[in-house]
């Protein structure tokens, strides 16, 4: 009787054990990564939802300006208050992130139903300075493109708001 077959049998068992252990480690690591990614995106999405809702309030105090603001809100009654929008733009970016309750980057703007960005008091949007909200020769805002911004996760939330008696979309982008 030959002992060579027994040696091969032990090699097979050891190889299968290593292979199965590798699969378990890979599956465990891969599952944890996707769970963490989902958790991060959920956090960003919740923040974007909160900011979009917060902006559609009057803010606090009701007659706030960039110096006295405790809570940012740009609506008076049911319509955009262009004065508050202008005051919002005067708040330093990191301070506005703190007031909005997020550590993530943001950009907010208003858009028509046809997706064209609305120029409000000379501003096409407010937020992260790396998002360039340009204007054409007539002073009309160009479409906002997030394609040039580096981000790991991006959330977009929209709310409807009145602006000059017409329905517009308040859009908030949030990313890390």
How does pLDDT run across 108-122, given as a tens digit for each residue? 999 998 889 999 989
Asked, for residue 13, whether it belongs to a domain, the answer is no
Asked, for residue 146, whether it belongs to a domain, the answer is yes
Nearest one of 134, 131, 64 to 93, comparing CA atoms: 131
Lowest mean pLDDT: which of 17-21, 33-37, 54-58, 71-75? 33-37
Phi, psi torsion values for 141, nearest 5 degrees: -70, 140
Q: Report the C-alpha dihedral over residues 143, 121, 94, 91, rounded to 10 degrees.
A: 180
pLDDT grade for 72, boundaries at 50, 70 and 90: very high
pLDDT grade for 5, boundaries at 50, 70 and 90: low
Asked, for residue 80, whether it belongs to a domain, the answer is yes
Q: Give the global pTM.
A: 0.76
Asked, for residue 141, whether it belongs to a domain, the answer is yes
Return the pLDDT at 129: 86
How does pLDDT run across 120-161, given as a tens digit for each residue? 989 999 999 888 778 888 888 988 877 777 777 889 999 999
Range 67-87 average pLDDT: 95
Range of the domain at 159: 40-175
Asked, for residue 4, whether it belongs to a domain, the answer is no
Asked, for residue 29, whether it belongs to a domain, the answer is no
Q: How many domains does the chain have?
A: 1
Look over the chain and give the mean of its residue pLDDT values, rounded to a whole number.
Answer: 87
Asked, for residue 28, whether it belongs to a domain, the answer is no
Return the pLDDT at 38: 77
* Number of Cβ atoms within 10 Å of the Cβ of 36: 10
Asked, for residue 156, whether it belongs to a domain, the answer is yes
């Amino acid at each position: 009787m030959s002992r060579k077959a027994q040696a091969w049998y032990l090699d097979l068992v050891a190889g299968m054990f290593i292979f199965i252990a590798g699969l378990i480690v890979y599956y465990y690591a891969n599952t944890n990564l996707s769970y963490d990614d989902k958790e991060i995106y959920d956090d960003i999405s919740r923040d974007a939802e909160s900011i979009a809702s917060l902006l559609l309030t009057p803010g606090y105090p009701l007659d706030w300006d960039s110096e006295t603001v405790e809570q940012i809100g740009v609506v008076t009654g049911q319509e955009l208050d262009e004065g508050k929008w202008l005051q919002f733009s005067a708040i330093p970016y990191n301070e506005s992130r703190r007031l909005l309750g997020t550590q993530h980057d943001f950009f907010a703007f208003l858009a028509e139903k046809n997706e064209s960005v609305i120029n409000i008091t000379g501003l096409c949007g407010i937020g992260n300075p790396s998002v360039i909200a340009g204007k054409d020769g007539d002073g009309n805002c160009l479409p906002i493109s997030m394609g040039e911004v580096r981000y790991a996760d991006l959330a977009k939330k929209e709310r409807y708001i009145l602006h000059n008696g017409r329905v517009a979309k308040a859009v908030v982008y949030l990313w890390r």
